[in-house]
Structure 1
Amino acid sequence: MTEIYRVSSPSNIAFLKYWGKKDPLLQWPASDSLSMSLNTLATKTTAYIHDAADHLFQFQGESLTRDHKSFHKVFKHLDYLSQTHGFTEKLAFSSSNSFPTGAGVASSASGLSALTLSAIACWTHSASFDELEKNGFSREHIAHLSRIGSGSAGRSLFGGYVHWQAGTHADKQKIIPLYSASHWNLHDTVALFSHDEKSKSSTAAHSDAWSSPLFSPRIAGAPERLQAMLKALYHRDMASLGPLLETEALDMHAVMMTTRPPQHYLTTESTEFLAAFRRARQDGVFEAYFTIDAGPNIHIIHEASQTPALHNWLKEFYPNLSLLSDKVGEGPSLERGMI
């Protein structure tokens, strides 16, 4: 019999965006970020120790190797974990997403957090977060290890609402859970304008941010936007939070479109949708607001009471549009089994 460790780790949607790095190697962000961990939009990963010369990684049923262009960071991260903590056993993984990979639904956040958590649990034979902590790996420590693999992955180690503090130096970063999911039952309806992977990955695009003339003003204004969002989140004030979400998302995309070379993630369809969406809200059809990560797909943030009106509008005017429906979640899960 072989121990197997099963992890489900959520994607997260950033309210205050993580874009641009002060130090790419140490994953030191240019500014703070604030996010909501999701519930069912997640990566499920299983891991077990196996006797082989290298790690095995299977994604969505396909076996992948170190030289795969989209998954080389998986093996690089496993090497980092092994070398920094003295783990020598090779692991076999099977992983899958409940949403399209690389299309702006933070697949690297859920994927690298699930990979890190399952690997550490397997290497330390830990069946729970309590056992992990007893073995020297607190949730905070695992979050920071996940962050090395993909910056936003650190936020996915916690449920509810999470603040990633950039700190005054790379080693002063903190990832802090602010509120549990029960604080505010916000929902996220994702309008999928593309199921394809992005033309340029977020990792590659981060380094271009500094070339935009809009980036320095963006960083200078980040503390004020953070405080405004924290206040709205504390008071569960959608009328205040919503416009902040939209301004923040468009501000980030303005930076992307003015880098050298420029990067356009939004499509004509998604841009036209945003205009129609805002008109419908102004007409009183629903109270909901959009945010957008690095991709063409639109995240619509709303309270549960707005779901029927929002979804009816989407079905009436965009009947062929694929939707993903989720809400704030409690964070990752971990269990041990036998095969």
Structure 2
Amino acid sequence: MRINELFFILFVLNLKDFFYRKKKYSIDTNGVVTKKSFSNIALIKYWGKQKNKIQIPLNSSISYSLEDVYTVTRLIYHLKERKKRNFSVRVFFSGKEENRFIPKILEFFHRISFYCSYLRDFHFVIETENTFPHSSGIASSASSMSALALCIMEIERKLVSSLKEDFFLRKASFLARLGSGSACRSIYPGLVVWGIHKSIKGSNNLYAIPYPYQVHPIFTEMVDTILVIDEEPKEISSSKGHQLMNNNPYAKERFKCAHKNMERLISILKVGDLQDFGELIEHEALSLHAMIMTSHPYFLWMKPNTLNVLYKVWDFRKQSRKNIYFTLDAGANVHLLYPIQEKKFIMKLIDNDLLSYCKKIIESFCK
């Protein structure tokens, strides 16, 4: 993978500056950088990775970044007195030291050290916290890895004062992808695309890009109310779930369907058809969970109250003709998407009919 990816970067994308090779640092030996990064909710789902490659998707995806669902990360760095080749990391989550996160961070550092050679020269302390439950299917790895990637790029900006903002974000997305695939989409606000699609100019597998085409105003003011059905960490991680797509008998058809759905969404976003939008994102959500249920081994992320909410939403929409639609990520929790103009009416539904199925709700906006 590394040789192929290196060729793609150097000769196709002409991004050889992704490789930092400078030996002398014009940087304080100690310092702190802080970054905030938002979770995202995919409309067209990424599910499945190319074999023998690191975080390369088998279909393109598009997501909204979520304004009030985010991770804040402080990266404290100290230049080592003696240069050692091993990484030096401590991790604190919500004020408590958490060694369980260290293996994933070390794997991430190992993957990106090819592009950020300076990482081995510092001791790092990572202090991070979320505004939402961790590992419960609200894309905590996306916001946390993207926040960390932004912190690392802020250090690189101190090393290279001439770093331009577009390159800063592009490389941050590239690095974030190597920690968590969907994290590359959390670097940008709004609608963000990751993965090659012939109809989306600039789309590629190595980093995300802001959605480049016209978007109807109705889709720039969407609310996302997250119904937290289950706050506990998922029994099976998303990473393991992705691996199960390799032998899923329905995987090829799923990838074809995702490609067609992306094509269809381009038109929907342009003309502002809320009903088609809702039908599409609900189909995508249920397709994702169909892949989970037909993997081997098979499993369920939905809980009984997940289904209760879905049926309530369908019934409410049929009776009220309001534009309220759901999507699901890799977990039990439900995202309700609707235009801000209908928020007052829909909040009554949530308060009266849906709260009893939830641990809590998180109200956000599609940023």
Which residue number in structure 2 is paired with residue 32 of structure 1?
A: 60
Contact 1:167/1:174, CA 8 A, preserved across alignment: no
CA contact (8 A) 1:212 1:258 kept: yes
Secondary structure at 1:302 match in 2:
strand
The CA deviation at 1:91 is: 1.7
Deviation at 1:77, TM superposition (A): 1.1
| Two-structure CA RMSD over aligned residues (Å) | 2.5
Equivalent position of 1:98 in the other structure: 131
1:308 aligns to what SS in structure 2?
helix
CA offset at residue 124 of structure 1? 4.0
* 70-79 or 192-201, larger mean C-alpha shift: 70-79
Query: Deviation at 1:318?
Result: 2.9
Cα-to-partner distance string for 1:149-187 (whole Å, 9 max, x where unaligned): 10000001111001112369x985452201699761111
Q: Which position in structure 2 is the counterpart of 1:296?
A: 332
Specify the alignment match of 2:15 in structure 1. Answer: none
| 1:46-195 mapped onto 2 (5 Å cutoff) | 46-50=74-78, 54-65=88-99, 68=100, 70-87=101-118, 88-125=121-158, 132-133=163-164, 137-166=167-196, 173-178=206-211, 184-195=220-231
Evaluate the alpha carbon distance shift between residue 240 and residue 55 of structure 1 in structure 2; reply closer, same or farther with a 3 A threshold: same
1:11 paired residue number? 39
Q: CA deviation at 1:221?
A: 1.8
In 1, Cα distance between the equivalents of 2:175 and 2:275? 36
Using structure 1 for the length normalisation, give the TM-score.
Answer: 0.88
Which stretch shifts more, 233-242 or 112-121?
A: 233-242
Residue in structure 2 matched with residue 45 of structure 1 by the alignment: 73
Equivalent position amino acid for 2:228 in 1: L
Q: Deviations over 1:158-217 (max 9, x none)?
A: 11001112369x985452201699761111000110011100000111000132222211
Distance 1:313 1:188 in 2: 14
Distance in 1 separating the partners of 2:260 and 2:204 = 23
Of the two, which has the highest radius of gyration?
2
Moved more, 19-28 or 304-313: 19-28
Q: How far is 1:71 from its partner? A: 4.8
- The gaps in structure 2 that reach 5 residues or longer are 1-27, 81-86
CA distance in 1: counterparts of 2:362 and 2:287, whole angstroms: 24
Aligned positions, number:
322
8 Å Cα contact 1:48-1:122 kept in structure 2: no
1:232 maps to 268
Tell me the CA shift for residue 239 of structure 1: 1.5
Query: In 2, distance between residues paired with 1:200 and 1:138?
Result: 34
Higher RCO by CA contacts (8 Å cutoff, separation 6 or greater): 1
The aligned counterpart of 1:324 is: 362
Deviation at 1:86, TM superposition (A): 1.3
Question: Are the equivalent residues in 2 in contact too, given 1:30–1:166 (CA < 8 A)?
Answer: no
Quote the Cα distance in structure 2 between the aligned partners of 1:144 and 1:22: 17
Query: 2:285·2:328 contact (CA, 8 Å) conserved in 1?
Result: yes
Structure 1 residue 125: Cα displacement: 2.0
Contact 1:47-1:122 at 8 Å conserved across structures: no
Shift of 1:84: 3.3
Q: 1:303–1:95: structure 2 CA closer, same or farther, 3 Å change rule?
A: same
User: Does structure 2 conserve the Cα–Cα contact (< 8 Å) formed by 1:121 and 1:132?
Assistant: no
- Partner Cα distance (2:271, 2:159) in 1: 38
Q: Which amino acid counterpart does residue 219 of structure 1 have in structure 2? A: F
- Deviation, 1:126, is 7.0
Give me the whole-angstrom Cα distance separating, in 2, the residues matched to 1:30 and 1:316: 41
Contact 1:285/1:310 (<8 A) preserved: no
Q: Decide whether the 8 Å contact of 1:54 with 1:90 is kept in 2.
A: yes
CA contact (8 A) 2:31 2:78 kept: no
3-state secondary structure, aligned to 1:22 = coil
Distance 1:167 1:64 in 2: 39
Map of 1:332 onto structure 2: none
Preserved contact between residue 194 and residue 204 of structure 2 (Cα < 8 Å): no
Q: CA shift at 1:93, angstroms?
A: 1.5
Counterpart Cα distance in 2 of 1:71 and 1:18: 26
Q: Check conservation: 1:212, 1:256, Cα contact below 8 A.
A: no
Which of 225, 238, 245 is the equivalent residue of 2:281?
245
Task: Show CA shifts across 1:206-255 (max 9, x none).
Answer: 00013222221111222211011111122232121110000011011111
TM-score (norm 2): 0.81
- Decide which structure has greater strand share: 1
Amino acid aligned to 2:171: H
The correspondence for 2:314, drawn from 278, 300, 303, is: 278
Residue aligning to 1:267: 303
Q: Which runs of 5+ in 1 are unaligned?
A: 330-339
Contact residue 161 and residue 178 of structure 1 kept, 8 A: yes
